[in-house]
Structure 1
Amino acid sequence: MIEVDRSAPIWTITINRPDKAGALTEQMLVDLRDAARDARQAAAVILTGTGKVFSAGADLDAARAGLATSPLWEELSGAIADLPGLTIAALNGTVAGGATGMVLACDLRIAVLSAKFFYPVMKLGYLPQPSDPVRMAALIGPARTKMIFLGGQKLPAATAYEFGLVDELVENGAVLDRAKQLCIDIAAAKSETARAIKAMCR
């Protein structure tokens, strides 16, 4: 259910479980984490999904069995954040709950116009992974982060873009092509130059 296209120099990692709204099982989290760890030589990594939802977060049965508080979420987002190449979340649809962490860890976030963003951990009785509110607040500020985590707000794509949670909006169906366009220059550049520039942007 996690597909990895290792075509050099751009890797594409796809969550392919459209019948379950991209809900993540423990094995899917392991596969995502391992793919991110393996992608250190890629010039760019695109993270995307299939269907109308990028990911609904944890599979509900798995969440009740303990996945909601698993360290795998932090391991995944940490592996993405540590990648020296360009990382792009190409969001084909809605992002919810713990799936937000890997999206926040990317360098760029592109979303379709129909996407929505929400993180209902408080309602469900869980704490978010530690890095998620920190990364979100760095993008949109503490007050707007509290609107999502404490106010339970579900943001439509236009509001997410206005807040700075998303860097660009595209028509439905065009998000992967746009992400690949953004990788053209880095794919042709010397890896040491591109990685040095990314390091300077931090």
Structure 2
Amino acid sequence: MIELEKDGGLWTVTINRPDKANSLTEAMLTELAQIAESAGEARALILTGRGKVFSAGADLEAAKAGLAVSPLWERLSSAIARLDAITIAALNGTLAGGAMGMALACDIRIAVPSAKFFYPVMKLGFLPQPSDPPRMAALIGPARAKLILMGGQKITAQEALDFGLIERIIESEALMDAAREIAEDTIAAKPEIARGIKAMCQS
């Protein structure tokens, strides 16, 4: 249910469980973390999903069993954030719950017009993963982060673009081409130059 395609320096990771809104089981989340941890040789990493939802977060039954508060989410987002590669979340649809962490950890987020963004963690009675609120606040500001995390608001793609949560809105049929086009210059550049620019942007 997690697909990995390698094309030279470009790694594309696809969540393929569309019948369950690409919700993540413990095994899927572990596999995603392992891929991110092993992607040191990748020059670009694209995360996407099959169907009309990027990911609804934790699988309902797995969440009841404790996956919603598992350290696996933080392990995944931390592994993505550590990569020298340019990391792109190509959001083919709605992004919800703990799955938002992997997108927040990416360098760039693009989304289809129908995408919605929400993280109903407080309503469900537990805290978000430690890195998610500061990453969100760094992108959109503390007040808007609280609007999503404390106000429980569902944000449209246009609002997400206006807020700075995503960088572009792309029509569904062009989404992956756009993600690959963004990655092209980094893949073609000298690795030390690409690493240096990423480090400068983060400092």
Give the alignment's TM-score, normalised by structure 1. Answer: 0.99
Structure 2 residues not aligned, in runs of 5+: none
Task: Report the RMSD for the aligned CA atoms in angstroms.
Answer: 0.6
**Separation in structure 1 between the aligned mates of residue 120 and residue 154 of structure 2, nearest angstrom:** 9
Aligned residue pair count? 202
Alignment match, 1:123: 123
Question: Is 1:5–2:5 an aligned residue pair?
Answer: yes
Alignment match, 2:17: 17
SS at match of 2:7: coil
Alignment match, 2:112: 112
Alignment match, 1:75: 75
Alignment match, 1:188: 188
Alignment of 1:22-41 (within 5 A): 22-41=22-41
SS at match of 2:133: helix
In the alignment, residue 62 of structure 1 is paired with which amino acid? A
**Separation in structure 1 between the aligned mates of residue 97 and residue 163 of structure 2, nearest angstrom:** 18
* CA offset digits 1:49-77 (Å, max 9, x no partner): 01000000000100000101100000000
SS at match of 2:83: coil
* CA offset digits 1:141-166 (Å, max 9, x no partner): 00000000111100000000000000
Which deviates more from structure 2 when the two are superposed, residues 120-129 or residues 135-144?
120-129
Using the aligned pairs only, state the percent identity: 65
Structure 1 residues not aligned, in runs of 5+: none
Alignment match, 2:175: 175
Alignment of 1:146-161 (within 5 A): 146-161=146-161
* CA offset digits 1:97-149 (Å, max 9, x no partner): 00000000000000000000000111111211011011000000000000001
Which deviates more from structure 2 when the two are superposed, residues 36-45 or residues 93-102?
36-45
